[in-house]
Amino acid sequence: MRAAADSEQRQAPLGLMLMLMTMSAIGPVSLNILTPVTPSLAEIFHTQVQTVQLTLSLYLVGLAISQLLLGPLSDRFGRKPVLILGLFITAAASLGAIFATSIHAVIFFRVLQALGASSGLVIGRAIIRDLYARERAASMIGLVTTVMVVAPMAAPLIGGLLDTALGKHHGWQGTFALIGLFSGFVMVWVIAGLKETRPDHITGGGLRFIAHESRELFASRRFLGYMLVCAIGTATFYGFLGGGPHVVISIMGRSAFEYGLWFIFTSGGFMLGNFVTARNSQRYGIDRMIHFGLVNMVAGAVLTVLLVALWPQGGPWTIFVPQLLVSFGNGVFLPNCVAGAVSVRPQAAGTASGITGFAQMAVGAMAAQVMSHLVATAETAMPFAIITLLLAAAAIALFYWLLGKQPQPQMR
């Protein structure tokens, strides 16, 4: 590892931080910017809403699978060339979708778009670990992941503005054009401004190297601990996305606008947790920070059950006030879990980042689906509260089992 990577106090260049945050935003922006125009797509291409929904669900599948591919490839061939390839695929697919003449063509380009859209996030985490020691990496990942909150909030607004400005027949094309230009801009920025960060001592033999490093990671108790805590812990957030709207709008009879206002609690809690991580991970270490975040998440989940039990008709505050604690805990433990996962074998940081990202998205998708089915026939928010508590309890139990009794490694 380069000597510079050994400095805990070394400050990250502002330009590098802005680049990492920008390229990490491509995935969530691409995912959410299309949601306001999906009704228009159904009308334009004379198809069912369920078919148009594939532009979102299959995008998530592509996003998950691509992380398994891009991370290991960046370990083998370098961060910069794989990142450039991913950004090029996203830009080309986005521009190609503009000229699609059927919904099936849109779906095809949408999946292709997803294959490169995760490159900024998965390789960005590996770049941070290449340059900085474990605790410092957690602090930086905490700053970069704030974009995962801001981007999903801003993207639907941008998509809606494009749909209004360009009209329903061209608004969807405007969203793809914007993502294409955005990805192209970041690609040029990476070509001109990013130096290769993969450690010089990493050598390998293609698929043999990738297979070997993957086996070593899955044989590591600590990697499994970080990966599983990350995936199951953040499933509380994805479960909230799957069930929260139905609970607030259908069961509690509130408007979508009011739901959006209450959601500020969730976003604000996560961003506050990221801020706490950025300020404290170097001081206290990532395992203590993970534990702190998980305790807050469990406390929020228990409080949710209590409030819903005591005030079953109490309104959105019964789930959103404790959600502040749950999302704060997510904001604390997530960056530290990722930093731990990519530090188990620093020479395989890309592979570790890809596997962790895939697990996080796969478990999150299942949690959202299960939650949506359970609350669909519920009369109160209790099923939502119980599932949130079960996920939080499972995450902290895995921490104690796989990480809590293990000695803290002195890795740099």
For 313-358, write each residue's pLDDT tens digit: 888 899 889 999 999 999 999 989 988 998 888 778 888 888 998 8
Please answer whether residues 20 and 127 qualify as being in contact, where contact means their C-beta atoms are separated by less than 8 angstroms.
yes
Please answer whether residues 241 and 266 qualify as being in contact, where contact means their C-beta atoms are separated by less than 8 angstroms.
no
CA separation for the pair 90, 82 (Å, rounded): 12
> Is the whole-model pTM more than 0.75?
yes
- pLDDT mean across residues, the chain: 84
* Per-residue pLDDT tens over the stretch 184-231: 999 999 999 899 888 765 555 556 767 877 888 899 999 999 999 999
CB atoms within 10 A of CB 80: 18
CA separation for the pair 350, 223 (Å, rounded): 13
Q: What per-residue confidence (pLDDT) applies to 325? A: 94
Domain residue extents for the chain: 3-202, 211-403
Q: What's the first-to-final CA gap in the chain, in angstroms?
A: 8
CA separation for the pair 128, 349 (Å, rounded): 9
Q: Mark out the alpha helices in 78-201 (DSSP H runs).
A: 79-98, 103-117, 119-131, 134-144, 147-166, 171-193
Which of residues 10 and 258 earns the better pLDDT score?
258
- Three state DSSP letters for 114-137: HHHHCHHHHHHHHHHHHHCCHHHH
Q: Hey, what are 358's tokens? A: 């895939």
Q: Hey, what are 300's tokens? A: 């929020």
The amino acid occupying position 365 is: A
* Per-residue pLDDT tens over the stretch 360-377: 888 887 887 788 778 878
Q: What percent of the chain has pLDDT over 70?
A: 91
Q: Hey, what are 287's tokens? A: 């395992």
Give which of 395, 411, 152, 410 is closest to 293, Cα–Cα. Answer: 395
Q: Is 191 left (phi over 0), alpha (psi -120 to 50) or beta?
A: alpha
Give which of 128, 410, 398 is closest to 290, Cα–Cα. Answer: 398
Q: Mark out the alpha helices in 195-313 (DSSP H runs).
A: 207-218, 221-245, 256-262, 264-284, 286-310
Q: Would you say the CATH fold of 211-403 matches that of 3-202?
A: yes
Q: What per-residue confidence (pLDDT) applies to 135? A: 75
Length of the chain: 412
User: 211-403 maps to which CATH number?
Assistant: 1.20.1250.20
Q: What per-residue confidence (pLDDT) applies to 7? A: 42
pLDDT greater than 90 at residue 168: no
pLDDT greater than 60 at residue 2: no
CA distances from 66 to 11, 60, 119, 307 (A): 31, 10, 8, 40
Q: DSSP secondary structure string, 328-343?
A: HHHHHHHHHHHHHHTT
pLDDT greater than 60 at residue 4: no
- Which fold does the domain 3-202 belong to in CATH? Growth Hormone; Chain: A; (1.20.1250)
